[in-house]
Amino acid sequence: MIEILDLHKSFGSLEVLKGVDLSLEHGKVLVIIGPSGSGKTTLLRCFNLLEIPDQGSVSLADVKINFTDAKRIDQKSMLALRRKTGMVFQSYNLFPHMTALGNVMEGQITVQKRTKEEARKRALALLDKVGLADKADSYPHQLSGGQQQRVAIARAMAVEPEVLLFDEPTSALDPELVGEVLKVIKQLAREGMTMVIVTHEMKFAADVADRIILMDDGLILEQGSPQEVLEHPRNPRALQFLNRLNGEDI
C-alpha cells in the first residue's frame, strides 16, 4: 500500500534523510521511533508532501511520485496523494473560530464538496466515535488538550483517508490526558486503519505497532516487529538509545 524508496531530504546543507526505504501493507500500523533530530517527523511529512523530497519515490495505493532536483512535481499527483492521507499534528492545529463540529465538517465541505447536511452527519458520528459527542458545539479554547487532539483525529478521519499520519500525537499533552488519545488510536488499529505514527511512547508503540522502525541520523537503524526492535536490537546505536529510554546504564 505504501512504499518509499531511496528517500532523501536536505534543508540547505543539512541532510536530514539519507536514503530511506520502507513499505507498509494496508491495515497495518507502522511506528517510527528514534532520538530527536533523527529525521522521524521529516519522513512523516514527506509521506503527504508537506515536505518535498529531493530524491527517491513515494507510492500510496495507485499514486506514485518520483522526485529529482530537476523535475517539477505534478500538482495533480500531489493533490491525489494528499487526499489519501489524514494528518494529526502534535499541536492539534484546530481552527479556533470553529466549534468541534465545524472543524470536523470543514474538510468534507471544502475538499470533498459534501453538502453541509452530509458533512454534519459524518462529523457527529466521528465525534461520537472519539468520545466527544457532547462537545460538538464547544470551541477549541473550551476543550482540554486531550479533547482537542481527539477532535483533530476525527477531523483527519472525516475525509476518509487511506492512511492516517500521527506526528507525536501526545507530546503536547499533560500526562493525565495522554491515555484518552492513545485509547482512540488503539481502537483505530483494532479496526484495521492503516497508520504511521511517530511517538516517544514506547509502551504504546509495543502495544499498537505491527512494525517499528528506529531511526537515527537520517537512516533506519532497525526495523521489524515490536519484540525484535524493542527487546532484541542488533545495532549498537539502537541499543544505546533504547537503554537510555529505559534508564539503564550504558
Q: What is the pLDDT of residues 168-224, one digit of tens each?
A: 999 888 888 899 999 999 999 999 999 999 998 888 999 999 999 999 999 999 999
Q: What is the dihedral of CA 175, 99, 130, 143, to 10 degrees?
A: 20
Instruction: Determine the Cα–Cα distance for residues 217 and 240; give it in Å rounded to an integer.
Output: 14
Instruction: Determine the Cα–Cα distance for residues 23 and 162; give it in Å rounded to an integer.
Output: 15
Give the pLDDT of residue 69.
63
Instruction: Determine the Cα–Cα distance for residues 150 and 140; give it in Å rounded to an integer.
Output: 11
Of 197, 208, 233, 182, residue with least CA distance to 33: 197
Specify burial of residue 123 (Cβ count, 10 A radius: 0-12, 13-18, 19+): buried
Q: 34-37, long-range: CB within 8 Å, 24+ apart, which pairs?
A: 34/214, 34/215, 34/216, 34/221, 34/241, 35/216, 35/241
Q: Residues 14-38: pLDDT tens digits?
A: 999 999 999 999 999 999 999 999 9
User: Is the per-residue pLDDT at 249 higher than 50?
Assistant: no
Instruction: Determine the Cα–Cα distance for residues 18 and 224; give it in Å rounded to an integer.
Output: 20
Half-sphere exposure of 244 (CA within 13 A, CB side): 9
SS3 182: helix
Q: How many residues does the structure list for the chain?
A: 250
Question: Going by DSSP bridges, is the β-strand pair 85-88/63-67 parallel, antiparallel, or unpaired?
Answer: unpaired
User: Is the per-residue pLDDT at 68 higher than 90?
Assistant: no
State which H helix or E strand residue 57 sits in. strand 55-60
What lies within 8 Å, CB to CB, of 83 at 6+ separation is 111, 159, 161
User: Is the per-residue pLDDT at 74 higher than 60?
Assistant: yes
User: Is the per-residue pLDDT at 147 higher than 90?
Assistant: yes
* Confidence bin at 250 (pLDDT 50/70/90): very low
Instruction: Determine the Cα–Cα distance for residues 204 and 188; give it in Å rounded to an integer.
Output: 13
Half-sphere exposure of 246 (CA within 13 A, CB side): 12
Mean pLDDT (the chain) is 92
Percent of the chain clearing pLDDT 70 (strictly above): 97
SS3 48: coil
Q: Residues 153-164: pLDDT tens digits?
A: 999 999 899 999
Cross-sheet strand order for the sheet of 14-24: 14-24, 2-11, 55-60, 63-67
User: What letters, b where the CB count within 10 A reaches 16 and e where it falls short, cover 97-114?
Assistant: ebbbbbbbbbbbbeeeeb
